[in-house]
Amino acid sequence: MRSPEDLLRERGIRPTELRKEVLRILFGEGRPLSWKDTFTRFTGKRVNKVSLYRTLSLLEEKGLVHKVLGTDGAWHYCAHLPEGNRCPGNHPHFLCLACGRMICLEDQPLPTVQVPEGCVVEGKQLLAYGRCPSCS
């Protein structure tokens, strides 16, 4: 897998320490993390909350992460790398209602959705929820 610095440069993004660390966290976790969960992974480092949020937004805009809306109303960010089996985008997720853990499910075709004439679909999201094995 390419380094976070290489991935950022390939997308025309200056590889700051914060941007590289956010990618390391999301790639290492292997599941979607909320903004708050991402923030708590910065142990021992001082991180500005606004800078972190802007970094996540930039990484999404450039296609390195995508976000999934949880039933809690919070966005969860997931590494977006088709090679290396990291969250390739349009695939379902599972959210445990007890512990809040969000899990990427295997890539599979998502249901076809009929939209009004003239609308353009730019992505789909399916979220299944219930209890994970640890909580059931």
Q: Can you say which residues are annotated as belonging to the binding site for Zn(2+)?
A: 96, 99, 132, 135
CA nearest neighbour of 134 among 105, 93, 107, 99 = 99
Lookup result for tokens 């910065």: 42
Degrees, nearest 5: CA angle 114-115-120: 125
Tokens of 76: 């969860």
Q: Read out DSSP for 67-133?
A: EEE-TTS-EEEEE-BTTTTB--SSS-EEEETTT--EEEPPP-PPPP----TT--------EEEE--T
